[in-house]
Amino acid sequence: METEGNGGRSVKSNETLFSIIESLKERDVAGVTELADQLGLAKSTVHKHLVSLEQHRYVVNEGGQYRLGLEFFNTGIHVRNQYEVYHAAKERIDRLARETDEAAWLIVHENGLGMFVYGVPRNESFSFDSTIGTWVYLHANSAGKAILAHLPDEEVAAVLDRHGLPAQTENTITDEDELFDELEATRERGYAMNFQEDLRGLHAIATPIIRDGRPVAAVTVAGAANRLTEERIESDVYESLLEAVDDIELRLVYG
């Protein structure tokens, strides 16, 4: 890490700030000494950053114990509202969940990862509160594979160079050639499938939302493996999903 000159000190200070935020996220609540010991930092350094975060409402000090503040929530909602695809998809995803009686989700990709930005849980397939805002690896997720399948090969390669192909379950694709074969099959089918690749006991199907020739997001339907079978996906769920994505793409064009 760069440590010399004003720019170097600024970068190091930023890294320290983010490490404190991530540590608070993991621990929910912590004091200055606990954070300093965990991160190997001086207590004065940790305290200085916490005071600054508190002044900007990003942390709350409750008797010397700090937790993340609602300003992060405010910022996150603002970011989500900037995505046109969120506004175009929200109502249609609600309807898709009712039609399929399964969980339906909107996943947007940034920096080589996917995030659940909106969803409707059904049949307790997902915990809504713990899923919204969650990052996922694109290669191990149906929505992620739907997105990757419609990106140029060099962009897919860049994602793999950055994030690798970590296994989430024993069914996750961890071989690059196998993944490219799966992406080709996804394009031919018109949808991506996930058979217990990121979560055991869960199946999912996804189709990308294309705008100006590029995938801006994907819609996925997910449910218990014994209920959302391959046969049901092909005979029933796929058509509902495709209709939903077609409607969303039209809304993106015509508003």
Task: Round to whole Å and give the CA distance between 18 and 222.
Answer: 33
- Architecture (CATH level 2) of domain 5-74: Orthogonal Bundle (1.10)
Q: One digit per residue, pLDDT tens: the chain, 255 residues?
A: 334 445 666 688 899 999 999 999 999 999 999 999 999 999 999 999 999 999 999 999 999 999 999 999 999 999 999 999 999 999 999 999 999 999 999 999 999 999 999 999 876 655 666 789 999 999 999 999 999 999 999 999 999 999 999 999 999 999 999 999 999 999 999 999 999 999 999 999 999 999 999 999 999 999 999 999 999 999 999 999 999 999 999 999 987
Encoding tokens for residue 157? Answer: 């390669």
Question: CB of 181 within 8 A of CB of 154?
Answer: no
Identify the CA nearest to 136 among candidates 179, 105, 158: 105
How large is the C-alpha radius of gyration of the chain?
21
Name, in order, each residue with C-beta under 8 angstroms of 158's C-beta and a sequence gap of 6 or more.
112
- pTM here? 0.88
* Domain 83-254 class in CATH: alpha beta
At what angle are helices 238-254 and 84-100 packed, to 10 degrees?
A: 150
Identify the CA nearest to 112 among candidates 161, 146, 152, 149: 161
Write the pLDDT tens digit of every residue in 162-194: 999 999 999 999 999 999 999 999 999 999 999
What are the domain boundaries of the chain?
A: 5-74, 83-254
Task: Round to whole Å and give the CA distance between 56 and 52.
Answer: 7
Measured torsion, CA atoms of residues 110, 113, 118, 121, in degrees rounded to the nearest 10: 170
